[in-house]
Amino acid sequence: MEVRIPDVIDVHTPSPARMYDYWLGGKDNFAADREAAEKVIAAHPEQRKLVRANRDFLVRVVRHLAEQGIEQFLDLGTGIPTSPNVHEVAREIRPAARVVYVDNDPIVFAHNQAFRATDDRIATVQADIRRPREILGDPAVERLLDFDRPIGLLAIAVLHFVPEAEEVIGTLRETMAPGSFLALSTGTYEGLTLEQRERIENAYAKSSAPAVIRSRVEIERLFTGFDLVEPGLVHVARWRSDGPETKGRLLAGLGRLRTSSPAG
Question: What is the pLDDT averaged over residues 145-169?
Answer: 95
- Find out whether 75 and 102 touch, Cβ atoms under 8 Å: yes
Tell me if residue 201 falls in helix, strand or coil.
helix
- Average pLDDT of span 237-253: 83
Average pLDDT value for residue range 7-25: 76
Predicted confidence at residue 8, as pLDDT, reads 57
What angle separates helix 31-43 from helix 47-67, to the nearest 10 degrees? Answer: 100
Q: Is the pLDDT of residue 2 over 50?
A: no
- pTM score: 0.83
Residue 129 makes CB contacts below 8 A (sequence gap 6+) with 76, 77, 102, 104, 135, 155, 158, 162, 168
**57 in Cβ contact with 252 (< 8 Å):** yes
Query: Which of these, 28, 34, 21, 26, lies nearest to 6 by C-alpha position?
Result: 28
Nearest by Cα to 54 from 20, 31, 87 = 20
- Quote helix, strand, coil % in the chain, to nearest 5: 40, 15, 45
What pLDDT, on the 0 to 100 scale, is given for residue 3? 47
Min mean pLDDT across 23-27, 72-76, 82-86, 184-188 is at 23-27
In residues, how long is the chain?
A: 264
pLDDT at position 114, please?
66
Residue 87 pLDDT: 94
